[in-house]
Amino acid sequence: MQARYLTGYTRTEKTLIQNIKRYFDALGATYDRKFRINPSNNYRIAEAYLAIDYELTININWECSPQPKLLNFDIESLQNIDIDKLKDLIEEEAENYFGKLTLVYSSCGRSRNLASFPFFFDLENVIRELIIKVMISQYGTQWWDNSGIDTNLVRKANNYKTNETTNSLHDNFELHPIFYLDFKDLQKIIDDEDAKHITNKPFQDIFDNYDQVNVIGKIGEARDLRNRVMHGKYLTEENLQTIRVICGQLHRFLVQRGHVGDFYDRKLISKQ
């Protein structure tokens, strides 16, 4: 496990060294009281070993200066220590000596986000496939043009598509406009289409009475979690389990019942 925190410091280096020693003592950590200097970058390094609930090393380093401005807190352990545990172990006590720490990296959070990505990717494309299938059944192949899709969504998709095809960094691979819309937009297409029908709502008729689960609501939950990942925020273990449950439900409702394709690599459930 690796993690990094950053914080600013406005007092003298002498005071900083005193506060680091007080901090290490407060944690009950073992450390060399003489802090070394890395000659390759002129950074001073204070390293401590902590073995209470977890075994870990704390490496505080900063550029040698009479008045340091930036402190790096690098945490390493052979154990997986999650963000909430690090907060209890590292952050709260550190605030007494250095002010508030800002977490900028967590290997546990990163691993969890990477594990979640295939679920989000395939879930989003399952919803796209379902929409395309239903809308072709309702309106024919040209449904995008003649089904009354919200003009703002049409404009958004067209703008993204134009930007991509005119950007030399992108290969000009032809995709349906729906692939230029995000989760929120897909949910709006579903809601708008069902709102046109008093009875025989095309999407609601698919989703109704599946374990009494509000499938549209589940898609909304997945969208919120997906946005956390796409903006570089770490998921909690509970978040990851939630997306697994949602994807498992949609696998039963959509894949197993033949509403969308059952492809081996499609990761709505973990395949053994």
pLDDT band at 147 (very low <50, low <70, confident <90, very high): very high
pLDDT band at 230 (very low <50, low <70, confident <90, very high): confident
pLDDT band at 272 (very low <50, low <70, confident <90, very high): very low
Is 10 within the bounds of a domain? yes
Mean pLDDT value across residues 180-207: 90
Task: Examine the domain organization and report whether 17 and 48 are in the same domain.
Answer: yes
Is 267 within the bounds of a domain? no
C-alpha distance from residue 97 to each of 8, 23, 25, 28 (Å): 11, 7, 12, 15
Task: Examine the domain organization and report whether 227 and 130 are in the same domain.
Answer: yes
pLDDT band at 271 (very low <50, low <70, confident <90, very high): low
Is 32 within the bounds of a domain? yes
Give the whole-angstrom CA distance, residue 112 versus residue 107: 9
The residue among 100, 130, 163 that closes a domain is: 100
Instruction: Identify the domain containing residue 44 by its residue range.
Output: 2-100
Q: Extract the tokens encoding 35.
A: 């802090």
- State yes or no: pLDDT of 167 exceeds 90: no
Which amino acid would we find at residue 203?
A: F
Task: Examine the domain organization and report whether 75 and 136 are in the same domain.
Answer: no
Per the structure, how many domains does the chain have? 2
Q: What pLDDT, in 10s, does the model give residues 5-34?
A: 999 998 999 999 999 999 999 999 999 999
CATH of the domain at 47: 3.30.310
Q: Extract the tokens encoding 201.
A: 């709502």
Mean pLDDT value across residues 128-141: 95
Task: Examine the domain organization and report whether 213 and 190 are in the same domain.
Answer: yes
Give the whole-angstrom CA distance, residue 3 versus residue 83: 9
pLDDT band at 213 (very low <50, low <70, confident <90, very high): low
Is 167 within the bounds of a domain? yes
Rg (Cα) of the chain, in Å, rounded? 26
The highest-confidence range among 160-169, 180-189, 200-209, 211-220, by mean pLDDT, is 180-189
C-alpha distance from residue 190 to each of 88, 131, 197, 203 (Å): 43, 7, 12, 7
